[in-house]
Every structure is written in C-alpha cells, then in structure tokens.
Amino acid sequence: MTYVYVVQHVREDSDGYDDIKFIGVYSTRQEADKAVARLKQVPGFTETPQGFYVDQYEVDKDHWTEGFVDVSKS
C-alpha cells in the first residue's frame, strides 16, 4: 500500500466559522512534519500553531463512501 500525508490548518474566523487552509500533500510523515514546522513560523499561522493537522491517506482508495445530505434544502 502507498500512503500520502495531507496537511491542513484550521482556525476559527471572526464570524465563528472554521477557516480551513489546505497546505499540501507529502510523501512521508517526516516531510509533512517539516512543512508544519516551517509554517508555524509564518505570520498568520504563528497565532494558532495548534491548528495544524496531518492525516494519512491510502492512495487509490475512496475515503468518503457514505454520501451526503444537502442541508440547505432541508
């Protein structure tokens, strides 16, 4: 199996909504961790360094299989 590592940053914006930044996709956990370490020094990220998330994903596999409901039509 082949895996990639997705880095995102999440913080709450001034309206109380999650502001999610897609940072990148990395070939190893070590490379993902290096990206997080670099970006923790960048303005904007320095205020919320705890907002980084690294997730492992298997390549060539569906990761969302449940479907969804459009809540705007309910």
Q: Domain limits of the chain?
A: 3-60
How far apart, in Å, are the Cα atoms of 44 and each of 12, 15, 19, 59, 66?
A: 12, 17, 12, 31, 34
The pLDDT score that the predictor gives to residue 35 is: 98
CA dihedral 7, 12, 18, 22 (to 10 degrees): -20
Low-confidence ranges of the chain (pLDDT < 50): none
Q: Taking the model in full, what pTM does it have?
A: 0.84
For residues 38 and 44, the answer to whether their CB atoms sit within 8 Å is no
